[in-house]
Structure 1
Amino acid sequence: MKTQKNILLVINPIAGGTDKRPIIKAFKEQVAAQNKESHVYETTGKNDKEAIQELVSSKQPDRILISGGDGTIREVADAIKGVSVTIGLLPSGSANGLATNFDIPEDLDRQLAIALGEEYIDMDLLDINGYTCLHIADLGVNAQLVENYEKSEIRGKLGYLIQAFPTLLNKDFPFKVSIDCDGKIYQEEGILIGIANANKFGTGATINPTGKMDDGIFEVLVFKNFSVKGILETFYDDAHLDPDFVKVIPCKAVKITAEKPIAFQIDGEFMGKKETIHAKMTSDKLRIAIPKSFNH
């Protein structure tokens, strides 16, 4: 890999509701200490994709660091499709699902060391209903939780916990779906239908223990019921989920059809209620800097 000389930081100033000035300061100091040139772009919510593309074209960075949540990462991923560049993660969103899956530490200095390091993965990208998906999308109880969380004023894991109880009492669950996976049809009923490129939710719960993010396939997960034992098992990194609790269907392309509109989310962003979901593995890859200890 060529020596990094020009490094861009894309930062979402409102992600997670925290002050981003310490991140910008540490980034500039680290880059200057390595005799490299730094550039910072703060997202505004308007024409960010085009602005990032213009910066990448004009500055031609050797690496792009991203500070924000999964939505910011997705925006950069869409902006740099077709560009050969490694990205590094400085997670600062409310729920940092992708960073959780890569075991990115909370310490900023360690994050910078990983983000500027030489270990990386060429991660698969999914297309779901025309949107890029980085790690996990789903229909059902978790997506409903995401919607309820977005409407609440309490952020972080406490906000998710508070919303969990009314969500679990929702009369929409369980629900019936037809799953067409690579031409094979399944008729299923469950409380959550996941489309997983990764292993974990941003909360750290392991829902897809055998999934790999660079193997060219994703897994459709049918969570069949509210099982306290099954839910508790998801909090272990070496989880082995009971097949009576979750059914796993490996796919390259899938069409999921529900009997009625059900809450749907992609990478922690509520996308409304949907009856039909189309998902497929794309030919695009996203090169991401990872810890040396990450097992892939």
Structure 2
Amino acid sequence: MKLCFILNPRSGRNARRPWLTGHIREFIAARGLDATLVTTTGPQHATALASAALAAGCTRVIAVGGDGTMNEIAQALLYSPAALGLVPCGSGNGLALHLGIPTQLNEALALAADPAARIAAIDTGAANGRPFFNAMGCGFDAEISRRFNRLTRRGLAAYARIGLSAFRSRRSEWVVIHGAGQTKALLTLLVAVANSDQYGNHACIAPGARVDDGQLDLVAVRPVGFASAVPLIARLFLGKFSSSPGVFRLRSARFLIVRSGPGLLHTDGETHETGALVEVKVHPRSLRLIVPVHSRVSNADPVPAPDFALPFP
């Protein structure tokens, strides 16, 4: 079993851990692993490093970072025989929390390197061709992601401050949503499409969502004021968001979101400018991932990339 650990030194908690590189090297040596450790230097570098690891014959590629690092590495592993391991070090760690992956450093390292660890295959998504593995969104949450990514110090408190600031200058947008045989026109604050049940930090945007059901969960939130936002946020952390007034939810393998004009979207917290049409689709069980025995995801082997298309209006 050949492993490659890919460390993002600027991701979340890693920026405050100058000792982490040495710690991982000691872990590799103590376990006698056939493993390398490489470090990212900028955007998209993790994808290139993961591709190189695959070419070198690695059967496991371990992301030591946050959701953005996970996204970049997973892009290279789609439909490959290699498995992704997660050592969550970011601010949200939504996919890791959904799957029950330990957030404690040594426990996560041990799981990723365990030759007997359980390997599952999970669904992945794409928004206008951009892969995502936990969630994507446009509107208010994309704006929060844009502001959050500019910070040098992150965390839940920083996210809350950014969210409050963005809420004061929020804008609503008319969208038309096509999916599951329905067409719905809505005035929205945000539209998110989730693969797992949460953004991160146990903020459950799509309670009950699964990463192995061949479906994605669209959640649209209508405009709210401060008075309505407080109970809505509470429901987000209590697992009752979908039943909130002003929340529209739809489950499908594919969506077409028609916005009033071009704008920002995020994929796993990384932001991109895109056009008015946003096509979102699922790729069932397209990524192999190391998970704990008790994880809610089902065991399965990846399926070949689909060569069919689902009709849209």
TM-score computed with the length of structure 1 as normaliser: 0.87
Shift of 1:153: 4.7
Q: Please say if 1:80 is aligned against 2:82.
A: no
Task: Work out whether residues 206 and 241 of structure 2, in 8 Å CA contact, stay in contact via their aligned partners in 1.
Answer: no
Q: Please say if 1:231 is aligned against 2:233.
A: yes
Shift of 1:122: 0.9
**Corresponding residue for residue 97 of structure 1:** 94
Going from structure 1 to structure 2, the CA distance change for 1:152 and 1:38 (only over 3 Å counts) comes to: closer
Structure-2 separation of matches of 1:212 and 1:115: 22
Shift of 1:220: 1.0
Q: Which moved more, 1:218-227 or 1:30-39?
A: 30-39
Task: Work out whether residues 230 and 242 of structure 1, in 8 Å CA contact, stay in contact via their aligned partners in 2.
Answer: no
Match of 1:68 among 62, 65, 86: 65
Alignment of 1:165-176 (within 5 A): 165-173=164-172, 175-176=173-174
Structure-1 separation of matches of 2:188 and 2:63: 36
Which stretches in structure 2 are left out of the alignment for 5+ residues? 298-313
SS state at 1:260 partner = coil
Deviation string 1:124-148 (CA, Å, 9 cap, x unpaired) is 1111111111111111212111122
SS state at 1:18 partner = helix
Task: Work out whether residues 74 and 84 of structure 2, in 8 Å CA contact, stay in contact via their aligned partners in 1.
Answer: no
Structure-1 separation of matches of 2:158 and 2:270: 15
Match of 1:45 among 37, 42, 51: 42
Going from structure 1 to structure 2, the CA distance change for 1:254 and 1:221 (only over 3 Å counts) comes to: same
**Corresponding residue for residue 290 of structure 2:** 289
Q: Which moved more, 1:109-118 or 1:15-24?
A: 15-24
**Corresponding residue for residue 272 of structure 1:** 273
Deviation string 1:173-220 (CA, Å, 9 cap, x unpaired) is 2x2110111553111222111111111112321110111001111011
**Corresponding residue for residue 244 of structure 1:** 245
**Corresponding residue for residue 144 of structure 1:** 143
Structure-1 separation of matches of 2:257 and 2:194: 14
Going from structure 1 to structure 2, the CA distance change for 1:280 and 1:102 (only over 3 Å counts) comes to: same
Q: Which moved more, 1:163-172 or 1:200-209?
A: 163-172
**Identical-residue share of aligned pairs (%):** 24
RMSD between aligned residues: 2.4
SS state at 1:95 partner = coil
Shift of 1:102: 2.3
Which stretches in structure 1 are left out of the alignment for 5+ residues? none
Shift of 1:79: 1.7
Q: Which moved more, 1:187-196 or 1:241-250?
A: 241-250
TM-score computed with the length of structure 2 as normaliser: 0.83
Which runs of structure 1 show a deviation greater than 6 angstroms over 4 or more consecutive aligned residues? Answer: none
Structure-2 separation of matches of 1:145 and 1:225: 16
SS state at 1:74 partner = helix
Match of 1:215 among 208, 213, 216: 213
Alignment of 1:251-270 (within 5 A): 251-270=252-271
Going from structure 1 to structure 2, the CA distance change for 1:212 and 1:246 (only over 3 Å counts) comes to: same
What is the count of residue pairs matched by the alignment?
Answer: 289
Structure-1 separation of matches of 2:139 and 2:213: 26
